[in-house]
Each structure stands twice: as C-alpha cells, then as structure tokens.
Amino acid sequence: MIITVTLNPAIDISYRVNNFNINKGHRVENGLKTAGGKGLNVSRVLKQLGEQSLCLGFLGGQNGKWIKKRLEMDGMEQSFTTITEETRTCLAIIDEDHSTQTELLEKGPNVSEEEKERFLETFNQQLKKAKLIIASGSLPLGLEPSFYKEICKLVKEENIPFFLDTSGESLKLGIEGSPFLIKPNQEELSQFAGKELMKIEEMVEVAVKICNQGVQNVLLSLGENGAMLVRKDTILKADIPTIPVVNPVGSGDSMIAGMAYSINNGFDLKESLRMACACGMANAMEAKTGFVQPEIIKQLLSEINITTL
C-alpha cells in the first residue's frame, strides 16, 4: 500500500468569469467544487493508474466532512485525523478572456499538539503496512517547519522510500532528513539555492549538492521543458514533445504519482522518469486537476526521449 500525506487539504472552488474586473460584481455559474490538496491529487492519479493508496492528514469541520464524503464517493481509502478547526477553502477565479487565474488561498486551520500526536499515532500504525510514503504540500499552522523531517525519520527507520514534495523552509529542513526523493520545480530549487537558477547546468549543480547531503533522487520538473532525474551516480534528462495543454495545474502531483507507481512496480530509472513525465503531461492535457487517462499515457511514453548526461 502507498500512503499519501496531505496535512493541509482544502475545498477548491473555481469560478469561470468573463472579463473579470476588480471592484465589480459578477454573476457566475455555480462554482466547481473539488477535494483539493497535493497528496489527494497524487492518490487520485495513483487510482487511475490502478494503484490503491491510503490518504492521511488532517480534516476538520463541515469542509472536512465534505472532503471525506467526496473521497468515499470516489472510492479512495482514507484515515484522516479529525481536528477542531475548519479545513480551509481555496478559491480560483478563471477569466478565459484575459487568460488569468486569480487565487485566494486560505492559510487553513491551526493544528493542536494533541491533534498532531493523534496523527503521528495513525501514521506509525499505517507505516507498518506501507510500501512507499508520499508527503506533499504546505504545512498547516501549529506544525513546526521540521515536521516533514520528523516523519521522514520515522519512515527511514522502516526502510521504506519517502517522497517529499514541498517548498521553502519545510523542504530545506526535510532534505536534512534524507528523503528517498524530492521533486522541486525550477522555482522551488531556486528558492532553495537562494538565487534564480536559469541554466540546466546550474540546476543540476544544486541537485547534485542535495544528493550529496543524502537525498537519493532529485526529480526536477521543468514544465513544458520536461524533467531531469539527478542522483549521485546518474543524471538523466527527459525531452518531451509539445502537447495540447488544457490545464497544467497538478502536473507535478501527477508526475509524483507516476514515479511512485514505477518504483512500486520495479521499473528501472529511465522507465520511471519516462512514466513520471507521461503522467505529468497527461494531466496537463485535461481540464480536471489530478486526472490522467491511461490510454493517453501509453501513447505519450513512446514520444519521450531519455538521455544520460
């Protein structure tokens, strides 16, 4: 069983508005409401690939109940820790006329010490049955930025691969826990390096340094420019074809799902990178976030070129 950890999930509501203007009222169709959070996207894509996973994290209030119900309806396994404060809502206003997306992202609930302990209890129990753990996204208030580092240590004690997909301080500290894989994009890697990284060579240099700190795989995602997989002993580059992009949001999460699926099924490094890219691309070709079509993935796999640098 693969476990995904989403510590700060959200109800994502998106509205499509023509000619969005600040300071003006807009009449809109009902918003599209989804159970959001990076780990949930990963679990959803894993399911589409035929791999069941267990979703862990925190859920609270009416919003939490709504997400739980939604996941049940989608046939996803879950064992969330119930919290007192309300799970957040995130709002996106999409204006197709101007090709803009304006987002309002709530910070989310404050997790108490007792709630954190209850989560760790569940996590430790489930860990015993897990084959791979994926932790994605930001941390809710109340958890220390070192929280991912803490859980990374627990996972390592069980000798299970730990994927960490986060940014900022929690990524920096998480790296100190030596996760099996991290998946920064160009912006996240630049933030980590403390300077804007523009050239591939500069990015690889930083990724190699991270590997020397104990991370086994740095999966660097480069949007339409493909991806790199950097390890101490190997550097792979994936060149991808141009595709008809509909909505690339969640492509990073889909990529993580593709990588986890590959590791779980014993694919070699090149095939794993190929699968990870195909999943990211397949998601970018759909309107829904965290949605891939296996037939499209199959087709894309043959169009991705992997080279060793």
- Tell me which residues touch ligand ATP (CB under 6 A): 185, 221-224, 226-227, 240, 243, 245, 248-253, 255, 277, 280-281, 284
Instruction: Work out how close the CB of 19 gets to ligand ATP at its nearest, in angstroms, rounded to a whole number.
Output: 25
CB of 90 vs ligand ATP, minimal distance in Å = 13
Q: Is 253 annotated in the active site?
A: yes
In the block, which residue shows the tokens 């991806």? Answer: 227
The 88-95 sheet, strands edge to edge? 32-36, 10-16, 88-95, 100-105
179 vs 226, beta carbon nearer ligand ATP: 226
Pick between residue 72 and residue 196 the one whose CB is nearest to ligand ATP.
Answer: 196
C-beta closer to ligand ATP: residue 14 or 185 = 185
Question: Shortest gap between Cβ of 232 and ligand ATP (angstroms)?
Answer: 21
Crossing angle of the two packed helices 186-193 and 200-212, in degrees rounded to 10: 60
Q: Which of 74, 165, 253, 268 is catalytic?
A: 253
Strands (E), the chain: 2-6, 10-16, 32-36, 53-60, 77-78, 81-83, 88-95, 100-105, 132-136, 162-165, 181-182, 217-221, 227-230, 235-239, 305-308
Rounded to whole angstroms, how far apart are CA atoms 20 and 3? 40
Task: Give the C-alpha separation, 278 to 187, whole Å.
Answer: 21
**Sign, CA torsion 33/39/40/42:** positive
Q: Which is nearer to ligand ATP, 141 or 245 (CB)?
A: 245
- How near is the Cβ of 249 to ligand ATP at its closest, in Å? 5
Which residues does the annotation mark as catalytic?
Answer: 253
